[in-house]
Structure 1
Amino acid sequence: MATLISRRGFLGTATAAAAAVGTAAPATAAATGRSTVDTVRERHRAVVVGTGFGGAVTAFRLAEAGVPAVVLERGRRWPVTPDGDTFPPVLRPDRRSSWLTPHPVYPGQPPVLYRPYVGLFEKVVGHNISVICGAGVGGGSLVYGGVMIRPPREVFTRVVPASVDFDELDRVHYPRVAGRIGIGTIPDDVLAHERYWSSRLFLDQAARAGLPTQRLTVAVDWNLVRAELQGRARPAASVGEYLNGLNGGARPSVDRNYLAWAEASGRVEVRPLHVVTGLGRDGQGRYVVRCDQINEDGEVLLHRELTADAVFLAAGSMGTTRLLVRARDTGALPGLPEDVGRHWGNNGDQIYFRALVPEPTGAHQGGPICVAVVDWNTPDGPVVIQHGPAPFPIDAHAMAVPGFGLAEPRGRFEYSPVTDRVTLHWPAGSDRAAQQGVRAVLRQLVSRTGGPVGVIGAELTGLLDLAAGGLAQALARLPGGSSVLGPLGGLLGLAAAAPAGLIDYSGLDPVTFHPLGGAVIGAVCDDRGRVHDHPGLYVVDGSLLPGSTGACNPAWTIAALAERAMDDVLTRDVGAVF
């Protein structure tokens, strides 16, 4: 690999480039006291952008095939330590909680001000919707709920192009991912523990309501959870602390399997704190990836230009799509398909909170997500509703109940040459069927299990006044309740005053955790991720899927598609294309 160093004026350059992909811009040279920043130029055989499920699978498969590669990740490493303090608590956020913003961005977290940092979550604001994106080596696998669920064939074929053979995925690639990551359902003894009362209650209520349920397959080491329950390890998963990253090591995030194996090969180098700002081609037709190397405060230390024979885009739907849209519309990468930036969807995400549950739901509800109502045949289409255990410090008689349905992939990304930004546009009503389906099932659950009014625990007796949002008032009167729960207490108060005790968070702040589409199979790529008319350019993440993975969490399908793509790419393209 040849490396060249030059110097160029910085002010304005990286700020515009970072804005182009919609990230918070790193600190400028003026802010850090430097007038120029060095530029390093490198030559590589393959570059992978992103370290989530798609990027991690790709890095490992390249290493396995003997192909040297550099993997770029904007975030830092998050090694799980014996002290159990790698990740911040959900209800006590600090600067580790958000990506280069001075406050938390995760829904429901208390307001706090701090010095910006390369933290776990970025909130990308679009028109009619915002997207919560993970940051760090391991990508979304650091902060997801751990749910690994695949739709049945009849649902899969409704949303995924026909060129992707479900039977092949089902026979080969889903099982391969499951074996490599390690997944399974919650064991009987763990579910029977008092900390998992809320999960048992959810299953019981769903059964009484006549709704079909499942113990979900999840990526978690239940032996480590047992250690927490037995007092041999510091509680994390077992007290609902899993959404901000999982201290204690019970989550097998991809930095601890696929990426670790890739690095152990000696053929793959993972570079944290490298923010990719642009994609183009040089005079010889090779791809050029531009990035800024930053420190943990977001200050730019170095510019890099990596020239490569092959580039694998795995920066997630938001990162990959914005890079491609900007590259096309600025002329940096001409000839990209016109459908780049289209066919985007929110995976049918619906985020509900349920208040006034008749039975106690418990404090510090044991997690991660492990049970759900799964009905592929409702009148409004397939619906999955999960119980999302929460680290409530008191028994709030409340549950988080996120759900999924089917959404139309009507979102699109547009580039503005005036602002040099790429913005997501989401037409209102694109997920109406998902909204209707999830709401109908939740109302059935509530109406057949006592409704919003029932026997409330002694600690709340006499404090509730439903018409006035009595739950919020009750929480405020309990020691530490209001200060600890912050806006979550207000949210539960709104739920208490809402019909059936249900509040749709997405109606208050339209947000999704599962962006999909923007560089979809068929219109932009072939069914193995090859970008049309651009040999050596690949998409291996959720951008390939037109807006949905079939009313369920997308991680397993994304990883399986990446495995499937690499089977073919390594067979046909290595030695021929790169």
Structure 2
Amino acid sequence: MSRLIKRRHFLQASLAATTSIGISAIRGSAFNSEEYVEAIVIGSGFGGAVASLRLGQAKIETIVLERGRRWPITDAGDTFATFEKPDGRTTWLSPTTLFFDQSPIDIYTGVLDVKVGNGITAYRGAGVGGSSLVYSAVTYQPNRELFYKAFPRSINYEELDKVYYPRVRSILNPAPIPDDILQTDYYLASRIFMEQGAKAGLKVRKQSMAVNWDIVRQEITGQKVPSAINGVLIYGANSGAKNSLDKNYLKMAEATGHVEIRSLHVVTRIEELNNGRFRIVCNQINEQGMIVGQKSLICRYLFLAAGSIGTTELLLRAKVNGTLRRLNKYVGQFWGTNGDALSAVINKYPTNPSQGGPATSVIEHFDNPIAPVIIEQTPLPNLQNGVIASLGQAIAKPEGYFTYNASTQSADLFWPTNSPNNQKNSQALQYTYQLLDKANDTTVAGPPDSNGTTHPLGGAVMEKVCNTYGQVYGYRNLLIVDGSMIPGSAGANPSLTIAALAERCMDKFLLHRIR
């Protein structure tokens, strides 16, 4: 696989620019003035976007603090950088790009960030809209059996199925790829992948995608800059084909008139005050990551939605520094990768492997005798023609953990790559690929590469750090609404489940909040 996809891991030291903006030396008492607001949401990804909209609709004055910048789609189609011409827009405060060949770039508040851990590299988005800017737009609802392999029985799957999953879909507006688009040359790899899965006797289907397929048609006819059809999605879609959160949930939240989104605000400190309110200290930065101001805000209700890595780090820092004294010992524990593993299959004929996105189709091998797995075909740049790349996912146990590093004032991540469960998942994926090879005369390029994840989950999980409605134990008005509360795996691509759980959390909060 390494010969096909030239992905190298950064050393943590090469990302010093990321942490240089992170911690403010100023304590809350040093501010001459403080801003008061009823609610604060930290982060604008799937959990934060849901929380923001529901708070706004409830007429609760809310400020959303987002570390990244806004990424409005331009008529010129040049909002994001591309694989062919990478620049600082690709990467969050790094001197080089993250994927494939590490090209030198200017340090900038780019759209993709990385957390280099011990045994794992975790990727996440940065910007208004969070990881929806860089994800593959897969809107996947796990079935009941898969769901309960990852989640506690205290969550009612039928309620999610009837109420919350449909509610999220009504806003994200996902749809499978239309046949007229699938039949174009751009989606040759997708068609071959589906044909090969069916020939192997496996269940294959189109994915539900948060994609505007009319815009993809405009890409095909030359009316929009090629993005989806060229597989350029990891750094954002210049055509605007992706239904990212800035176009729906967050836009609707701002339209209520009760929600203000402040981009380029990096939260450094959370502190409980004597009156039960929370003080949030943050650095305002420019697009080069330099601090241009420091702010202190006080709120009654605080919602953590900075993602698995961001939320966990904020809580660990507060626990170690004693600013949230009632946090328990489970903060930083029960982290996982969602079972992510990259693979590639070599064919004896052309496949157009770098074109046609996002991940339009999926093989579901739930009766795999080793462990249930799904495999999604995905376009990636710089692949040899004849290759089909895919992302496998399985039920990862929450075996990872964070510790707080006082010298860097950040969280260090640890993942047991070769644990028995991870080995089992790798064997299960290999078993499915062997079925594909046998039926199609193809060759798997190598063992699944599970050294990286685009779906980091856990670190502040439900029934350990918070209840299943996100309320942090010991803090009535402190809620977690993002992937950090999911114990290591969501059974499939987690974005839809994160949003559905956030909707469930917000219903409970708004019903029982203290007025």
**TM-score per shorter chain, which class?**
over 0.9
Correspondence 1:179-578 to 2 at 5 A: 179-354=170-345, 356-362=346-352, 364-392=354-382, 396-430=385-419, 431-452=422-443, 500-502=444-446, 504-506=448-450, 510-550=451-491, 552-575=492-515
Q: Which shows bigger deviation, 137-146 or 336-345?
A: 336-345
The CA deviation at 1:365 is 1.5
Give the 3-state SS of the residue equivalent to 2:240 in structure 1. coil
Q: Which one-letter code corresponds to 1:77 in the other structure?
A: R
The equivalent residue for 1:62 is 55
Amino acid at match of 2:476: P
Deviations 1:101-132 (A, max 9, x none): 100113x2x22212211001121111111211
Q: CA deviation at 1:138?
A: 0.2
1:166 corresponds, among 145, 148, 157, to: 157
2:358–2:379: 8 Å Cα contact kept in structure 1?
Answer: yes
Give yes or no for the alignment of 1:26 onto 2:21. yes
- Change in Cα spacing, 1:262 to 1:382, as seen in structure 2 (3 Å) is same
Give, in whole Å, the separation in 1 of the partners of 2:496 and 2:313. 23
1:15-47 CA-partner distances (Å, limit 9, x unpaired): xxx98xx94323999xxxxxxx98752111100
CA contact (8 A) 1:353 1:505 kept: no
1:49 counterpart letter in structure 2: I
Q: Which amino acid aligns with 2:212?
A: D
Residue 147 of structure 1 aligns with an amino acid whose one-letter code is V
Partner of 1:157: 148
What displacement does 1:418 show?
4.0
Change (3 A) 1:39 1:195: farther
Indicate if the aligned counterparts of 2:353 and 2:379 stay in contact, CA closer than 8 A: no
> What is the CA–CA distance in structure 2 between the aligned matches of 1:285 and 1:253, rounded to whole Å?
35
Question: In structure 1, how many angstroms separate the alpha carbons of the residues matched to 2:459 and 2:344?
Answer: 30
The alignment covers a number of residue pairs equal to 495
Contact 1:71 1:268 in 2 (8 A): yes
Assess if the C-alpha contact under 8 Å between 1:90 and 1:243 holds in 2: no
Residue 239 of structure 1 aligns to a residue in which SS? Answer: coil
Q: How far apart in 1 are the matches of 2:397 and 2:352?
A: 37
- Matches of 1:333 and 1:269 in 2, distance apart? 26
Is residue 405–residue 433 contact of structure 1 (8 Å, CA) maintained in 2? no
Runs (4+) of structure 1 exceeding 4 A deviation are: 37-40
Where in structure 1 are there 5+ consecutive unaligned residues? 1-17, 30-36, 453-499
Instruction: Tell me, yes or no, if the aligned pair for 2:266 and 2:283 is still in contact at 8 Å.
Output: yes
Alpha-carbon separation, structure 2, partners of 1:132 and 1:399: 22
Percentage of identical aligned residues = 41
Distance 2:276 2:353 in 1: 59
What's the CA shift for 1:363?
A: 6.1
SS in 2 for 1:77: coil
| Equivalent position of 1:88 in the other structure | 81
CA drift at 1:445: 1.1
Which amino acid in structure 2 is aligned with residue 410 of structure 1?
E
Alignment correspondent of 1:97: 90
Unaligned 5+ segments in structure 2 are 1-14, 25-29
**Equivalences for 1:104-119 in 2 at 5 Å?**
104-106=97-99, 108=100, 110-119=101-110
Q: CA deviation at 1:391?
A: 4.3
Of the structure 1 ranges 97-106 and 422-431, higher mean CA displacement relative to structure 2 is found in 422-431
CA–CA distance in structure 2, aligned partners of residues 135 and 38 of structure 1 = 28
Residues 1:337 and 1:217: Cα distance change in structure 2 (over 3 Å): same
Q: 1:139-164, CA deviations, whole angstroms, 9 ceiling, x for partnerless residues?
A: 00000000011111011112111111
Residue identity in the other structure for 2:364:
V
Q: State which structure, 1 or 2, has the greater radius of gyration over its C-alpha atoms.
A: 1
Following superposition, the deviation at residue 137 of structure 1 comes to 0.3
Q: Distance in 1 between matches of 2:113 and 2:289?
A: 13
Cα displacement (A) at 1:315: 0.2
Contact 1:407 1:433 in 2 (8 A): no
Residues of 2 paired with 1:390 and 1:285: CA distance?
49
Separation in 1 of the partners of 2:329 and 2:425? Answer: 28
One-letter identity of the residue aligned with 1:311: L
Q: 1:39 to 1:119 in 2, by over 3 A?
A: farther
Does the residue aligned with 2:192 lie in a helix, a strand or coil? helix
Counterpart-to-counterpart distance in 1, 2:88 and 2:32: 29
**Pair 1:38–1:95, CA change in 2 (3 A):** farther
Q: Separation in 1 of the partners of 2:414 and 2:353?
A: 39
Q: Secondary structure at the match of 1:199?
A: helix
The 1-side partners of 2:106 and 2:230 are apart by: 28
The aligned amino acid for 1:128 is G
Distance 2:71 2:301 in 1: 28
Deviations 1:392-442 (A, max 9, x none): 5x8611121111011110111111334433211112324222211112111
